[in-house]
Amino acid sequence: MKDFFKSVFASALGTFLAIAIGGFALIVLIVSLASSAGGNHDSATVSVKPKTMLVIGGDLTINDTPAHGAPGLDIFLLGGNGPEVDLLRALEAIDLAAKDRNIAGILLNGGLSAGVTQKAELRRAIAAFKASGKPVLAWIENGSQGEYYLSSVADKVLVHTAGEIELKGLSSYHMYFGETLKLLGVGVQVTKVGKYKSAVEPYIGGAMSEPAREQSAALMGGIWKRILGEMAKSRAMTTPTLARIADSAGIFSAAKAVELKLADKTMHRDELVKQVIAAGAGADESGTSFLQVSLHRYAGKVRLPHGGGRIAIVYAEGEIVDGWGAPGDVGGDRLARDLRLLRGDKRIKAVVLRVNSPGGSAFASDVVAREVGLLRKKDIPVVVSMGDVAASGGYYIAAKANLIMADASTITGSIGVFGLHLNYGELAKKVNLGTDGVKTARFADLLAEHRAATPEELAIVQTSVDGIYEEFLRIVAEGRGLKRDGVHEIAQGRVWLGEDAKGLRLVDKLGGLRDAIKEAKLLAKLDQAELIQVPALHSGRDNLLQKMLSDDQDDSPLFAKASVDPAKEFLKANAKWLRAIRVLNDPKGVYLTCPILPDRR
């Protein structure tokens, strides 16, 4: 018996040691992969030979935020396939390339995932690069409209002989499942303030309301006009001419694109290589391609300014949710914690809050807005830089800043509130599901999911919604130096473009992220400033799961692109509707949300 226990003990000990050693090895592997799969690389590892072409594109994703935390299922459903770099480093890398004697020029290679405002900033940086005298070429194979918008800034637009260019205008569609919920027996009750507060419409009907259609048409029309104007100027055409071309077909063959002056020349890939070498790039060792470095990798050479007082760039990118939040969300508690820590850091002289959010939880937005106000009270200037969208809760957290800056195409405003109550009362009847119980007070089961709310209960919620709306108006009025009634007139849940918001005094100046940094330096009275990013690069975003679910192709050959998995693309396309429900976690069920999300293609 003693030998038996010895054998069992030895076996158990061996198993434990094997698990422990295996676990340790796995941790080492994860750490190793995390360090090697980072969004940027140490400058010591970035070697650029003379006559190297900086390649921008190739399934590159540009986000505002340097890191999103440890990824989960969202990376699979919503994340990109290729490498990522944050906007600030991308812009700084283009500036660095203009001064780098080893960089021969820029080749725009398509496949870039970024928002309209991000692409607008990239275009400005590339236009400034052209002043160095170095060439900028664009290569299009089967280019989307977003790809063409960025490519049009190049000196020459080259398109594959068998390829095409898309130029078809903008559209904005939403899925409406209100009638489907009724059919299933799911009850939906809404309390709201704001004629134009349309984010709740998908839950209660089957089509867009007229106020929502009105504001969507105005927004899409304004952005389209801006995009057309910039492309027309780059291509030495008139805006009406370009508009007529878009209306004529939407998709144009390579030959037709050249005929219409959308592109300069058609060619095959091997001919492109010769064209790039003729423009100043060196041939690679094989003699079949040219020396190149991806923007993703070259951004590793960027070192943000050091010396002087510190300016913190804080990122609020994604839906605003109560609590800590998941990757890709703006967790109210997490963002408030970051701002609070900055407020207690004597080295911080100013904060740039980059907001790229359609809003979300009313409670979480208020928690963040409080911290923004406390920074300002402590004489730490706060400059808000708005990205593609900074509306509803995204505007709520911005309103108390010293200065608000937006791109001309930023979607902002949406000062309105709604409450949402879903119940399964009718569904329960259909499937003979009973719910019964007891309560100790009249409103103990207020907004219970098993039944529709009574008119009296809805009145209670409406009072809460009205109160939050008044608080929203007060915060905007105080932060912007306006009167309550004046804010109410331009509120009503109405969404505005950045250029219109400036005229309404909801925005102070038009400009991008780096313009906001300059303004922060001025407000803080700093000649030099050290820039820090919150969250910082390599703060936990890359891990084994990320490596498994992404197709990172760092410095892959020019024409190699991430393979398209139709099943995965289907999941991505429909996951946003599931995500829209998941982020509805406000403790009061009250939301400051804008329904219009820009297409990044």
The Cα–Cα gap between 51 and 66 comes to 29
Q: At what angle do helices 513-524 and 87-99 cross, to 10 degrees?
A: 90
Looking at residue 34, its pLDDT comes to 40
- Tell me if residue 430 is catalytic: no
Looking at residue 185, its pLDDT comes to 93
pLDDT in tens, 115-166: 999 999 999 999 999 999 999 999 999 999 999 999 999 999 999 999 999 9
Looking at residue 43, its pLDDT comes to 45
- The active-site residue out of 197, 349, 502, 521 is 197
Looking at residue 376, its pLDDT comes to 96
Residues of the chain with pLDDT under 50: 1-44, 68-80, 540-556, 563
Looking at residue 590, its pLDDT comes to 73
Q: Which CATH class is domain 309-534?
A: alpha beta
Give the start-to-end residue ranges of the domains of the chain: 42-168+250-303, 309-534
**Is 3.90.226.10 the CATH classification of the domain at 42-168+250-303?**
yes
Looking at residue 156, its pLDDT comes to 98
Give every CB contact of residue 254 below 8 A, 6+ residues apart in sequence.
159, 160, 161, 162, 163, 164, 165, 263, 266
Let me know the angle formed at the C-alpha of 459 by 455 and 463, rounded to the nearest 5 degrees. Answer: 170
Q: At what angle do helices 362-377 and 332-343 cross, to 10 degrees?
A: 10
Amino acid at 263: A
Looking at residue 110, its pLDDT comes to 86
Looking at residue 200, its pLDDT comes to 87
Looking at residue 503, its pLDDT comes to 96
Looking at residue 155, its pLDDT comes to 98
Sign of CA dihedral 58, 62, 68, 74: negative
Question: What burial class does residue 450 get, using C-beta atoms within 10 Å of its C-beta: 0-12 exposed, 13-18 middle, 19+ buried?
Answer: middle
- The active-site residue out of 216, 392, 409, 414 is 392
- Tell me if residue 197 is catalytic: yes
Looking at residue 78, its pLDDT comes to 46
Looking at residue 557, its pLDDT comes to 53
| Element containing residue 431 per DSSP (H, E) | none
Looking at residue 2, its pLDDT comes to 39
Q: Do domains 42-168+250-303 and 309-534 have the same CATH topology?
A: yes
